[in-house]
């Protein structure tokens, strides 16, 4: 049986892909979203959970809906 990818894994991949597509460093994305500079790194490395409020902040900066950040169909 094929294991299902977790929302944390999907989020990490989507954030990284969208951030790179936008030409943003992790530090710049964190600054624009109002996060500490290490937070984006932790998200992309699947090391922490994200609150719904922070998910919305991140989505706004990346120009997508919050649901798209945890969607397996997200592509930049």
> Higher model confidence: residue 37 or residue 1?
37
Confidence of residue 42 (pLDDT cuts 50, 70, 90): very high
What pTM, to 2 d.p., does this model score?
Answer: 0.88
pLDDT at 2: 57
Confidence of residue 75 (pLDDT cuts 50, 70, 90): low
Confidence of residue 1 (pLDDT cuts 50, 70, 90): low
Phi/psi-derived region of residue 13, left when phi > 0, alpha when psi is between -120 and 50, beta in every other case: alpha
What is 7-69's CATH number?
Answer: 1.10.260.40
């Amino acid at each position: 049986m094929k294991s299902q990818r977790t929302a944390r894994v999907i989020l990490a991949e989507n954030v990284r892909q969208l951030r790179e597509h936008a030409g943003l460093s992790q530090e710049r994305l964190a600054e624009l979203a109002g996060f500490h500079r290490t937070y984006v790194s932790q998200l992309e490395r699947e090391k922490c959970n994200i609150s719904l409020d922070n998910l919305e902040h991140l989505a706004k900066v990346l120009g997508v809906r919050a649901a798209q950040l945890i969607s397996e169909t997200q592509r930049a």
